[in-house]
Amino acid sequence: MVKEYDVIVIGGGPAGATAAGLLAKAGRHVLVLEKEKFPRYHIGESLVPGVMPVLEELGAREKVESQLFLRKYGTTLRWGAERELWTIHFAEAGPWEYAFEVKRAEFDNTLLNHARELGATVVEEAAVSEVLFDGARAAGVRYTLGRRGSAVDVRARYVLDASGQSKFLAHRESLLEWHEDLRNIAVWTYYQGGEFFPGKDRGNILTEYHGDGWVWVIPFADGTRSVGFVGPSDLYAETGLGPEEFFQSRLKVSTEARRLLDGAVRVADYRVTKDWSYAAKTFTGPGFLLAGDAAAFVDPLFSTGVMLAMKGASAAARTVDRILDAPEREDDHQQHYEDTYRDFFGTVVSFVRYFYDARRKRTDYWERAQELIDPVRELETRADFIRLVSGLADGLAVMDVDGGAPAPAGANDS
């Protein structure tokens, strides 16, 4: 039995499971500590094609496909100066034609079990209460098993914080910086039945803007729908309404969402979350790295959260793998992770900010996408827009600090 691990991962969501799986695949002894018992509920149900290469890298794509999640071939929007609906299809910008609409309980459980199969040790209902430091260097964690368990200390050469919006290390190390201009609130619930987009578009998410915010409608394979409203936190506070009255008042002014929900029945309570856009001042420190929402989170406008979590975790896994091989180069490898992830994340944030001005023309959004990800104008502007919102813009292809393209984690395994 391993007494000291190579890596301890805090949290078993998409970021934690991805990093743990890839590090285990690379032959590292990995311990994942997850405070919940999986499967557990989570928001963040509409995926973008940017998750597909990471599922391939993990060798988990077939498992996810076999879960019969609804395939999402595109996105339907009512957004911008022109008020009619418009639809984009991921295939227009290839190479991944679709992603999935997922119940996160099932999706996350599949990924976490996959990490186990790749060799990671996963302990559920294990809440990390402290990161242990040797001087300034992270050297392990303290956790409690179950509700009444006693504290257990476990050591590792590296600690990866993938604790999601708990932001475990960012809180403790005072690293948080909020995006004040994106202080939004979301109120959501679930419906059964109603109308669906026809044919291949059945799995599209609807994103519909209405003056003071926007509504999402995400269909699932079982005929249920996740329906939410996102708008400024202040607006919610000012109305003085409770979640139900507030949500229904916003739904009432939508047109397409209401049409899709015609005849549908609400099947769940309302949920509320607010104040979520932020980035940690640094994603790294001696002996530790932050990944996924634990590092940074941007408004869910383009459904990029799970993609950022998984792509970022893949980059984090490679970074840690290299540092364990060459600890004397920790600073270089960390700096590279920091720069690459901040750049990629920054592109998404910048585009979300631009897109939130819903008075612009559709072509303005496309042109802005091109400016951000394709300055040499290799593709048409519309294709660049699709590539960006698919999470397929270049940016997280982690290169060696020496400049050469790295072998994927695990590529040297015999």
Ligand X SMILES: Cc1cc2nc3c(=O)[nH]c(=O)nc-3n(C[C@H](O)[C@H](O)[C@H](O)COP(=O)(O)OP(=O)(O)OC[C@H]3O[C@@H](n4cnc5c(N)ncnc54)[C@H](O)[C@@H]3O)c2cc1C
Positions in the binding site for ligand X (CB under 6 A): 10-16, 33-36, 42-47, 127-128, 162-166, 168, 186, 273, 276, 292-294, 297, 300, 303-307, 309
The minimum distance between CB 280 and ligand X, in angstroms, equals 12
Closest to ligand X by CB, 5 vs 401, is 5
Closest to ligand X by CB, 126 vs 401, is 126
The minimum distance between CB 309 and ligand X, in angstroms, equals 4
Closest to ligand X by CB, 33 vs 315, is 33
Identify residue 216 by its one-letter amino acid code: W
For residues 407 and 318, give the distance between their C-alpha atoms in angstroms, rounded to a whole number. 9
The minimum distance between CB 51 and ligand X, in angstroms, equals 8
Residue 151: other Cβ atoms inside 10 A: 10
Per the DSSP assignment, residues forming a β-bridge with 280 are: 176
Look up residue 149 and give its DSSP letter: P
Look up residue 37 and give its DSSP letter: P
For residues 10 and 142, give the distance between their C-alpha atoms in angstroms, rounded to a whole number. 11
Closest to ligand X by CB, 25 vs 35, is 35
For residues 310 and 16, give the distance between their C-alpha atoms in angstroms, rounded to a whole number. 8
The minimum distance between CB 370 and ligand X, in angstroms, equals 23
Closest to ligand X by CB, 307 vs 392, is 307
Residue number closest to ligand X, CB atom: 13
Angle at 280 between CA 354 and CA 16, to 5 degrees: 100
The minimum distance between CB 319 and ligand X, in angstroms, equals 16
The minimum distance between CB 168 and ligand X, in angstroms, equals 5
For residues 399 and 340, give the distance between their C-alpha atoms in angstroms, rounded to a whole number. 9
Cβ atoms of residues 85 and 15 within 8 Å: no
Angle at 48 between CA 279 and CA 66, to 5 degrees: 125
Closest to ligand X by CB, 36 vs 201, is 36
